[in-house]
Amino acid sequence: MKKTTYIQFKVPKSKHNSQPDGVVKRNIKKAIIGIVSSIIPKANPDFDHKIDFVEDWLVELDNETGIPEREIGMDKDGRIIVKMPFKKNYGYWTDNNLLLDDFKESFSTSEISRDSFENYWSLFGKTEDFETELTEFKTQSTGADGGHIYILAKVDFKGQKREIVIFFTDKSDERKIKDLKKVKIRGKIVDEGIDQSLALFETKLLNE
């Protein structure tokens, strides 16, 4: 199997730097500030208007060459808004000159697992926004990653009563739901078919 590395990093903020820019920094500026913005609409017609809203990038890179191969962009709420290469969209980082070592040197990167990247990749296109209010639900817990709390419930979805499993983005929301009798939530719903439970990812608690 081809060996790859998966990294995650936040979009860097502009900082004043009195020293001359090197090759890497010039490439970063070109990518982030958009010096070549006249090219981007042709390269990424579906996502050009969304790139400025990306807060976190997940990038797959080839270990041997260091070249970016796939990328996922998330907004400040953790929603997947960019996935490239995809259809007629060639890519943002995949169409840049940065390599694996450049990313590690220039950004505060952290490695993520292949499974995590693939899960996010597969979610795009299968999800849709879903918001609901629940008064009847059960909370369950798992020991993974220090323990997570999730919700089991039934919701009306496209004219049918369906079971749903709800996973929260923030642990602070998980802690709050234990003491609530009613929850208002919004997330990305995934429907794998009538024989499967619905799943709600990237869920936010909207209770005031």
Q: What is the pLDDT of residue 13?
A: 54
Q: What is the pLDDT of residue 72?
A: 95
* pLDDT per position as a tens digit, 4-36: 999 999 976 544 343 445 555 555 555 554 444
DSSP secondary structure letters along the chain: ---EEEEEEEPPPP----SPP-HHHHHHHHHHH-TTTTTHHHH-TTTTTTGGG--EEEEEEETTT--EEEEEEE-TTS-EEEEESBTTB--SSTTSS--HHHHHHHS--EE--HHHHHHHHHHTTTEEEEEEEESSEEEEEE-GGG-EEEEEEEEEETTEEEEEEEEES-HHHHHHHTT-S-EEEEEEEE---TTS-EEEEEEEE---
* pLDDT per position as a tens digit, 156-182: 999 999 999 998 888 899 989 988 999
Q: What is the pLDDT of residue 144?
A: 57
Q: Which residue ranges in the chain fall short of pLDDT 50?
A: 14-20, 33-41
pTM of the model: 0.57
